[in-house]
Amino acid sequence: MARSFISAKELFMLIRDAVDEDIPAMVRLRSAEWGDEDYWTQRLTRYMHGMLSAQHALPPHAMFVAIEQHAIVGFVAGHRTTRLGCEGELEWINVAATHRGQGIAGQLIATMGTWFVRQHIGRVCVNADEDNVAARRTYARCGAITLNAHWMIWEDARQMQQPLT
């Protein structure tokens, strides 16, 4: 009989639905990469409450946070869409620079994939500019394939649920 092992990191990582109180930590993660905190506070709050949608987006939206030792170290967001012939779109994913390379992005993508599957969503897209090598590599390791220079897709959201290899 095969035996599964869980790493110590996975034992102490919690991924749950994002709530209003998580917005400041999510804003800090997002604004560390681009934009300022005021911009992201408004954008993430409005997205969480369904008052802001990406082009071609449809309700519902979902947001999840990764928590380690009581601190938010990453988050992911996604929604239904009609963009590029897809049914779902991974809108944002951020992991704290201090926590990258530990599999957190893969766990967040898998969580988002589970949400998509529960919504009966098959094909999922994510914007990933060809210059963002790290993001494209992460998405590919999680089963995405290149659509063009700016987009990658999962033909089946169930592929997102597979662990990183």
Q: Which of 5-9, 20-24, 66-70 has the lowest mean pLDDT?
A: 5-9
pTM over 0.85: yes
Could you give the domains of the chain?
9-161 (3.40.630.30)
User: Is residue 67's pLDDT more than 60?
Assistant: yes
**Beta bridge partner(s), residue 14:** 67
- Helices and strands (H and E) in the chain: how many: 5, 7
Distance CA 85, CA 97 (A): 33
Q: Tokens 């994913």 identify what position?
A: 93
